[in-house]
Amino acid sequence: MKQKSLVSINDYSKEEIYEILELAKSFEENPNQDLLKGVVVGVLFFEPSTRTRLSFEAAIQRMGGRVIGFTDAGSSSVKKGESLKDTIQTVNQYADLIVMRHPVEGSARHASEVANIPIINAGDGANQHPTQCLLDLYTILQTQGTLDNLNMTFVGDLKYGRTVHSLAIAMNMFNTTFHLVSPIELKLPSAVKIHIKDKKQPYYQYTELADAIPQSDILYMTRIQAERFSDPMEYERVKNSYILKPDMLKESKPNLKVLHPLPRVNEIDTGVDSMEQAYYFKQAQNGMFVRQALIAHILGLK
């Protein structure tokens, strides 16, 4: 039977998600587990990345596996006009698993349909980022002791933010109250909001960040992504909409943690970094443990 890909967070059940999070804990306790001897992973990044690519590569190497791939499609035969389908069908001949980031929404689904090895979506345009979602869930569980009944506040680019889309969809499984803070132009798309409405989860929309902080358990900050705007003037209008500063956290709940998928531009003042609420660099570290767990799960090694 073909092993299961991870294209969208909807592909995984709540039980499967908990299984991966539990496994991630065992990798956090012991990251060097020689499970991937003889395994080759194709890591294909058609878009820039620091955390996702390096944490996948670190995960694979800590498990004794090997990596092939590229970090810039310009150095591959895509530059000569090769299609995504042909690229995937070729890497399929060399690797046991493909991790792919691509700027086009739906590209990961397409890749999973043409490959006969599993595909892990490392971000497809403004659509989804399901492995970020798993590490976000792991981090929320780690900081709150539960995923249930939380007040989740999403801030910034809710329209194009693929990390927001995946996490908002997943949090519907856990009886969440949603607080959505964005400029009018960057509201959560209806295709994502429909999941919240279908599950009848309460949600509140704000344009002012300060209005949402006091009720938040998790403050999920995001970057306004210049690269997603077709009109640069529109980006200029919204780019400095939210900047979290230390004094804004004075009235926060004692359990509040600030998360951010990173990279950050200026939406979290560096003065917040040393505060007890700041958890985004630990969140990035968790990415490696969760990706180890995901690979072990997909390849049936644990």
Task: Name which position in 5, 52, 153, 292 contacts ligand CP (CB under 6 A).
Answer: 52
Using the contact rule CB under 6 A, the part of the chain among 35-43, 56-64, 78-86, 260-268 near ligand CP is 260-268
* Contact partners, residue 96, CB within 8 Å, separation at least 6: 39, 40, 41, 117, 299
Task: Name which position in 10, 32, 50, 266 contacts ligand CP (CB under 6 A).
Answer: 50
- Unique residue bearing structure tokens 């592909």: 11
Q: Contact between 228 and ligand CP (CB under 6 A)?
A: no
101 is catalytic: yes
What's the rounded Cα separation, in Å, for the pair 222 and 268? 9
Q: Among positive and negative, which fits the CA dihedral 15, 51, 160, 248?
A: positive
What's the rounded Cα separation, in Å, for the pair 221 and 50? 18
129 is catalytic: yes
Minimum distance between the CB of residue 123 and ligand CP, rounded to whole angstroms?
6
Minimum distance between the CB of residue 164 and ligand CP, rounded to whole angstroms?
11
Using the contact rule CB under 6 A, the part of the chain among 47-55, 60-68, 138-146, 172-180 near ligand CP is 47-55
Minimum distance between the CB of residue 247 and ligand CP, rounded to whole angstroms?
27
What's the rounded Cα separation, in Å, for the pair 64 and 251? 46
207 is catalytic: no
Out of 53, 62, 102, 129, which one is annotated catalytic? 129
Q: Contact between 261 and ligand CP (CB under 6 A)?
A: yes
Contacts with ligand CP, 114-153, as mask; x by CB under 6 A: ---------x--------x---------------------
Q: Contact between 49 and ligand CP (CB under 6 A)?
A: yes
Out of 53, 62, 87, 101, which one is annotated catalytic? 101
User: What's the one-letter identity of residue 204?
Assistant: Y
Using the contact rule CB under 6 A, the part of the chain among 4-12, 50-58, 145-153, 223-231 near ligand CP is 50-58
Q: Contact between 225 and ligand CP (CB under 6 A)?
A: no
Using the contact rule CB under 6 A, the part of the chain among 45-53, 62-70, 207-215, 268-276 near ligand CP is 45-53
Q: Contact between 264 and ligand CP (CB under 6 A)?
A: no
Catalytic residues: 51-52, 80, 101, 129
Per CB under 6 A, residues contacting ligand CP are 49-52, 123, 132, 261-263
